[in-house]
Amino acid sequence: MAPVKQYDHLVKVLLIGDSGTGKSCLLQRYTQDIFSLGCVSTIGIDFAIKTIQYDDQIVKLQIWDTAGQERFRTITSAYYRGAAAVMVVFDLTNRDSFTAVSRWVSELSKYTPEGCQTAIIGNKSDLKDRRAVAEDEALALAERCNATYFETSAKTDAGVDPAFRHLCALTVNSRVGKEAQKEPPNRFKVERSYFQDLTPCCKSG
């Protein structure tokens, strides 16, 4: 007898973006609820699983943390195949990593299947005094890329869960034939004011 399936949806999620943007720290924070100051750049591919509930559906997320270094680009491209959702991560304190987002999004169109959901993530939102990218600028880029935008801090956990849940909601809704939504369900929505009360911190996330 075949084993009973323990989930309704299996969703492959990729974390991509330049090296040093905090992708590995985001993965640790979301799947293990920890933050390590010794978080180092991924060599090749890292992987974690988290099972969550969306409405009455059990969703198993397979989250792949891909290296941002140029020498691993061919490895990364192989893992685009079969992705249902992608987070393009940049560092809010590093403008070069923001400029690179357009290049990463361009790669998505080459390798990901049709209907793949995309979110642009501005990480390290706790470092307000070192911010190099305005929120309005990032929102405008996300709109041009047909993506949603979230700001997160792997260190403080701000915005991390809402970002993943939003992407999960879009993916599940798309799969069950519902119209894709630019705005997430209200219970997953993150207001701009959420980030305005964060206390500046000297450590990066």
pLDDT at 174: 87
The domain that holds 33 is classified in CATH as: 3.40.50.300
Identify the three-state secondary structure at position 21: coil
What's the CA gap between 44 and 169, in Å, rounded? 28
What's the CA gap between 167 and 162, in Å, rounded? 9
Which residue positions in the chain have pLDDT lower than 50? Answer: 178-182, 187-204
pLDDT at 37: 75
Nearest to 139 by CA among 167, 98, 187, 104: 98
pLDDT at 43: 52
Helical ranges in 100-149 per DSSP H: 101-111, 135-144
Residue 98 lies in a domain: yes
Domain residues for the domain of 107 are 9-181
**pTM for this entry:** 0.80
pLDDT at 109: 85
Q: What are residue 11's DSSP bridge partners?
A: 61
| Total domains in the fold of the chain | 1
What's the CA gap between 31 and 193, in Å, rounded? 26
